[in-house]
A and B are shown apart, each in its own frame.
Chain A
Amino acid sequence: MTDSNAAQMIIERKHATRTMLIGIYSGLVALFICLIGMVETFGERDIIGGIISMGHTMLIIIAIGSGAIAVKTLREDMSTPGATINKTSFVVEIFVGVTAGLIVGATLSLFVFATELVDMRSVLINVSPGLLEMLTLQKPASQVMVTMTVLGSLLGGIGAAIFNIAPRIRLPLVLGLTSIVSLGMLRDMLKIVLTREGWPSVLLNFLVKNQGLSIAGGTTIFATTVALVIIWPHLPVIYDKTVRIIIAYVPKVLQFSVGIIFAITLTMRVFWFIAISDKDLPILPACQTADNSPDVGLDKCISIVSNDISTTTDLLGTNLATLVSTIITVSEMLIGTFILLCVIFAIWNIRQRVNTTNIKSTLEDPNNALLIIAKRNISAFFGVSLLVSLPILLGVFPSEVLLNVGLYMLMGFGLNIVVGMAGLLDLGYVAFFAVGAYSTALLTSPRASIELGMSFWAALPIVVLITGATGLLVGAPVLRMRGDYLAIVTLGFGEIARFLFLSDWFKPWLGGAQGIILIPPVSIGNIQLIGPHKLYYLIITGCLIALFISARLRESRVGRAWMAMSEDEQVAETMGINTVYYKLLAFGLGAMIASLSGAVFAAKLGTIFPHSFNVLVSITALSLLIVGGIGSLPGIIVGALVLVGLPELLREFTEYRLLIYGAVLIFMMLSRPEGLIPRVRQTRKLDDQELNQDAWLHDETEANNGPSVTVT
């Protein structure tokens, strides 16, 4: 070993201390999740059936993470200018990782040891025999202490080693493992989706083994992910080429007609799903229960269809019939998607009035706008067809999750107008949601105090107006307040709303703690939207409308006024923006959108209680906004999916939902206040525009001057 290598082996005291601190912090985190009961709760959920549970996985991830973080910090320290040693060797890094992991293991084993000495159960309720069993793997504590420490250091070492693998291998490896863990976590959902008719049971039996994934399933998932990651860089090229070919060679008439056919098919499919099938079945078998359907005109078709399915079942046996229906579903989706693409091009071609003879030559230009627009349309239409077919593909329970995501997403869009655009931090947003739900209930329920019994659609405009007025009412007194005071006051308003709904004072009208019952479901014609898989379409429509409104508002004069106001109120006022008007407008609009969400909520549950409208709803809406990025519309969608969807998919999470929200809020504010998908700042756009204009002016002058020079 040369001198320089020897020098690299030395580690500064500063680094040693830091490594230990990282180890201690990670150990404390591990201990924390043990004490709040996460490890035990998640221990019941196996990632790979009978082999490893999610609780163990969490601890393992912490141990590996401690090693990785220790190495990362070490490298960062070394790369700072003042560092005396600026290079590390593999051995040193492994050593650092092992040390960090060792401390994590030691912390947990000390904890196990302490539980042997003292009975903590009376105070810390989660130090249960179950947890200890999980930590010790049913062995006596004295033996386990050594094992745990060794295991911890081993995992820390692995964490350090991961940093030393070439990225080419590391990425597929890490992503493959992540996909196993996440699919294992979602095993319930996998089971629910796959046990439905329309999906082959072979797949289910292959992937899922009683508690978690089967080993074969895990391996397959891993292999698939790795393969995907490897071919990922080539995908855009293939995609590009396909799009070019479609644009160039598929005749316009064909695109157009096929598009129309598909649009009709899809509409009928959805209509079928909403109107006729009462079960969540994806395809034909749904009609077997159609006898209950009041719609006489459709009876004939239903009987034919149900005859069909029973004959296929007779002929092929249940398993094969399922397979057949799956094939039908999948092929339907594939054909549908393809046809949809054609529609896009048909419509697009008409709109752009592209000269077909020139297409091939334009396509050779790599940066042509044609391709970009085509791709954008493709993704848009892919999105639409996916949105429309999601509940058909997934079934009732996943649709329930989607519905809840939709409710919060809608609230997110509304709150985004108030918080994201106008910059008024509203923590009592639940009040508007509640007013929307309560006024819907009052107007539609035949049992409500005023006994109007209106239909949902007749009530909706009134609900929106009432809630908008409430928004103004709340907004008016807080107009003069700013920033943090406003936040606390609105929080107070949210609480007041709940107190009023709960109080005996309003009991004759609002039912007090018992709430309002018998809210009729939403119906379109004689189709009743009962069940989340049907209400899904309602909420999605609502979300799209809200998205559209938000997007258009943001680009409009109003949006710019809001933005100016949120940047600096006084300057905005000086520039002639009527801040009173715009603030009230923001409150009113935000309240209206929340009321839509509230109305659907009331229709979904059929019964509403004041307890559903607590401050946690506001906090959830705010968190999803912040995680996605304040003011960013795609951010809201992502935020709602992550913060509302994930905890609903993982039942164990619901217990810790707010704990996680809290941690996420702190974390985001400290490290990434602009959110996961930051909003594209209008200012930057303007800058770009100015630059373009300057460049254009420059070119113009050059072009004007150029020839004149040559002439003279």
Chain B
Amino acid sequence: MTSLQKTKRVSWVSIILWVLRVAVITLVIYGSSVTLSSGKYAPSSWISLLIAGLAQGSIYALIALGYSLVYGIMLMINFAHGEVYMAGAFVSFFVADALEQSGFLQAQPLVTIFILLLSAMATSTLVALILERVAYRKLQNAPRMISLITAIGASFFLQYTFRGFFGSGFKAYPEFGTMWGRWTFGSVTIQIVQVVVAMAAILMMGGLYWFVEKTKTGKSMRAVSEDKEIASLMGIDVNRVIVITFMLGGMLAGAAGVFRGLYQPQGIGYNMGFLPGLKAFSAAVLGGIGNIPGAMLGGLFLGIFESIGPNLILQGLGIVGANQLKDAIAIVMLVLVLIFRPQGILGEKLAEEKA
């Protein structure tokens, strides 16, 4: 076989791919060199962008973990995961609103955040569990296309259910950011809420990593993701593991919802989960889907890239209004990753059935 592959002619598809590869790299290098040499941004503003990207990226990472966990266990893309995140953000908004009106929030901001996290995680977990029970349980062995379409249906159903329940207007979280102020180091200013969000998210991811690597349940999760049938022969209750996976994903997504509210108080609405969901999926693929550290790394990388990329690369290319294309960057990155390195940054070469 190897000799055959060596003598195989270079197909025009791979030529095009090579051209694309070179073009992308040239564009990136050219764009960033132009921006950097123009000196439009001081180093301190790059650092601010980096921190902002880190905070945003940790939110993506939390959502991406949900995709990655479910994909690892069930080999399906839980397209409705963005809505699980939305549910958490939505409910915690109502809790935060009530607490703000009663004056509790102003008195005890940290306790409030704790309460918010609890309520959001509970809601998101509940939504994820209902989703699993109603929509996915029956489809465990169905073709992947069918479960994906179901997930898309579930995604829109959830979006419009929330819209029906709570109205289509956007809601604004209480302003934790202005309440806490910012730190200034020389010329670099950092919002405290960004640091809090990034730290808390990284803490949670550490917790998840510990859970999956060190506990017995985590071990059974890994076993199921390796081989469902053999795992069930070893006495692991596969359904229970799947439920736990959805719970974990839901909890993280709920927390991400709260962090989103803290970090970007505006625009809590019924369709807030769609784009972050898409981006988080990109992040999960970028890190190597099914791989937990990969999802974290992918999320953080995507957040930073999204925050720096438009200014660094696109502006250098002379594109007007580069920040409008911020959302497109994640998707372009997803496409490029899937074309050139489908296994992601950390992913091992996936078996044929997983790729």
Q: Which residues of A contact B (CB under 8 A)?
A: 32, 35-38, 123-126, 425, 427, 476-485, 487-489, 491-493, 495-496, 499-500, 502-505, 507, 580, 615, 619, 622-623, 626, 655-656, 658-659, 661-666, 669-670, 673
- B150 within 8 A of partner (CB): yes
CB <8 Å contact, B335 and A483:
no
Complex alpha-carbon distance, A35 and B79, angstroms: 25
Instruction: Tell me how far the C-beta of B298 lies from the nearest C-beta in chain A, rounded to whole angstroms.
Output: 14
Q: Given the known A-B contacts A656-B164, A666-B157, A669-B149, are A495 and B334 also in contact in the complex, defined by CB atoms under 8 Å?
A: no
Q: Can you spell out 16 A-B residue pairs with CB atoms less than 8 angstroms apart?
A: A477-B17, A485-B285, A488-B278, A492-B278, A492-B282, A492-B335, A499-B324, A503-B324, A505-B319, A662-B159, A662-B160, A665-B150, A665-B154, A666-B135, A670-B139, A670-B150
Interface residues of B in 133-166 (CB under 8 A from A): 134-135, 138-139, 142, 144-150, 152-161, 163-166
CB <8 Å contact, A495 and B149:
no
Q: Which residue, of A619, A669, A670, has the highest number of chain B Cβ atoms within 10 A?
A: A669
CB <8 Å contact, B13 and A493:
no
Instruction: Tell me how far the C-beta of A227 lies from the nearest C-beta in chain B, rounded to whole angstroms.
Output: 40
Interface residues of B in 89-110 (CB under 8 A from A): 94
CB <8 Å contact, B164 and A126:
yes
Partner of B165, one of A36, A485, A489, A496: A36
CB <8 Å contact, A483 and B144:
yes
CB <8 Å contact, B334 and A489:
yes
Complex alpha-carbon distance, A695 and B167, angstroms: 65
**Contact mask for chain B residues 308-350; partner A; CB cutoff 8 A; 1 contact, 0 none:** 0000000000011110110110111011001100100000000
Instruction: Tell me how far the C-beta of B314 lies from the nearest C-beta in chain A, rounded to whole angstroms.
Output: 9
Instruction: Tell me how far the C-beta of B140 lies from the nearest C-beta in chain A, rounded to whole angstroms.
Output: 12
Q: Which residue of B lies closest to A36 (CB)?
A: B164
Complex alpha-carbon distance, A140 and B149, angstroms: 46
Interface residues of B in 275-317 (CB under 8 A from A): 275, 278, 281-282, 285
Contacts of B55 in A (CB 8 A): none
CB <8 Å contact, A502 and B324:
yes
CB <8 Å contact, A669 and B146:
yes
- B77 within 8 A of partner (CB): yes
Complex alpha-carbon distance, A666 and B152, angstroms: 8
Known: A124-B165, A626-B149, A656-B160. 15 other contacts (CB 8 A): A427-B152, A477-B335, A482-B355, A487-B145, A489-B331, A495-B327, A502-B324, A505-B320, A505-B324, A658-B160, A659-B156, A662-B159, A665-B149, A669-B139, A670-B150
CB <8 Å contact, B278 and A670:
no
CB <8 Å contact, B145 and A483:
yes
Q: Given the known A-B contacts A491-B278, A492-B334, are A663 and B166 also in contact in the complex, defined by CB atoms under 8 Å?
A: no
Complex alpha-carbon distance, A125 and B281, angstroms: 32
CB <8 Å contact, A489 and B164:
no
Contacts of B275 in A (CB 8 A): 495
Complex alpha-carbon distance, A615 and B327, angstroms: 14
Instruction: Tell me how far the C-beta of A508 lies from the nearest C-beta in chain B, rounded to whole angstroms.
Output: 9
Instruction: Tell me how far the C-beta of B151 lies from the nearest C-beta in chain A, rounded to whole angstroms.
Output: 9
Partner of B156, one of A35, A487, A499, A619: A619
CB <8 Å contact, B161 and A36:
yes
Q: Given the known A-B contacts A507-B320, A673-B146, are A662 and B281 also in contact in the complex, defined by CB atoms under 8 Å?
A: no
Q: How many B residues, CB 8 Å from partner?
A: 59
Q: Which residue, of B94, B145, B152, has the highest number of chain A Cβ atoms within 10 A?
A: B152
Q: Which residue of A lies closest to B275 (CB)?
A: A495
Complex alpha-carbon distance, A488 and B155, angstroms: 13
Complex alpha-carbon distance, A662 and B135, angstroms: 11
Complex alpha-carbon distance, A707 and B150, angstroms: 62
Complex alpha-carbon distance, A246 and B215, angstroms: 81
CB <8 Å contact, A662 and B165:
no
- B274 within 8 A of partner (CB): yes
Q: Which residue of A lies closest to B134 (CB)?
A: A666
Q: Which residue of A lies closest to B152 (CB)?
A: A665
Complex alpha-carbon distance, A619 and B152, angstroms: 9
Q: Which residue of B lies closest to A623 (CB)?
A: B153
Q: Given the known A-B contacts A478-B335, A670-B138, are A495 and B161 also in contact in the complex, defined by CB atoms under 8 Å?
A: no
Partner of B77, one of A36, A484, A493, A661: A484
CB <8 Å contact, A499 and B328:
yes
Instruction: Tell me how far the C-beta of B273 lies from the nearest C-beta in chain A, rounded to whole angstroms.
Output: 13
Instruction: Tell me how far the C-beta of B93 lies from the nearest C-beta in chain A, rounded to whole angstroms.
Output: 10
Complex alpha-carbon distance, A504 and B326, angstroms: 13
- B10 within 8 A of partner (CB): no
Complex alpha-carbon distance, A38 and B167, angstroms: 13
- B16 within 8 A of partner (CB): yes
Instruction: Tell me how far the C-beta of B161 lies from the nearest C-beta in chain A, rounded to whole angstroms.
Output: 6
Q: Kindly list the 10 A-B residue pairs having the minimum CB-CB distance in the complex, ordered from nearest.
A: A665-B153, A36-B164, A662-B157, A504-B321, A492-B331, A662-B156, A659-B160, A666-B153, A669-B150, A125-B167
Q: Which residue of B lies closest to A428 (CB)?
A: B331
Q: Which residue, of B20, B79, B147, has the highest number of chain A Cβ atoms within 10 A?
A: B79
Contacts of A496 in B (CB 8 A): 328, 331-332
Contacts of A670 in B (CB 8 A): 135, 138-139, 150
Contacts of B322 in A (CB 8 A): 505
Q: Which residue of B lies closest to A512 (CB)?
A: B321
- B241 within 8 A of partner (CB): no
Complex alpha-carbon distance, A615 and B271, angstroms: 12
Instruction: Tell me how far the C-beta of B192 lies from the nearest C-beta in chain A, rounded to whole angstroms.
Output: 30
- B205 within 8 A of partner (CB): no
CB <8 Å contact, B146 and A662:
no
- B272 within 8 A of partner (CB): no
Q: Given the known A-B contacts A35-B165, A124-B165, A125-B166, are A500 and B328 also in contact in the complex, defined by CB atoms under 8 Å?
A: yes
Q: Given the known A-B contacts A37-B164, A661-B156, are A493 and B320 also in contact in the complex, defined by CB atoms under 8 Å?
A: no
Instruction: Tell me how far the C-beta of A706 lies from the nearest C-beta in chain B, rounded to whole angstroms.
Output: 50
Complex alpha-carbon distance, A377 and B102, angstroms: 74
- B76 within 8 A of partner (CB): yes
Complex alpha-carbon distance, A79 and B338, angstroms: 52
CB <8 Å contact, B153 and A664:
yes
Instruction: Tell me how far the C-beta of A138 lies from the nearest C-beta in chain B, rounded to whole angstroms.
Output: 24
Contacts of B159 in A (CB 8 A): 658, 662
Q: Given the known A-B contacts A488-B278, A505-B324, A505-B325, are A493 and B331 also in contact in the complex, defined by CB atoms under 8 Å?
A: yes
Contacts of B320 in A (CB 8 A): 503-505, 507
Contacts of B76 in A (CB 8 A): 484
Complex alpha-carbon distance, A36 and B139, angstroms: 28
Contacts of B148 in A (CB 8 A): 425, 483-484, 487
Contacts of B16 in A (CB 8 A): 476
Partner of B157, one of A125, A495, A659: A659
CB <8 Å contact, B156 and A658:
yes
Complex alpha-carbon distance, A622 and B155, angstroms: 14
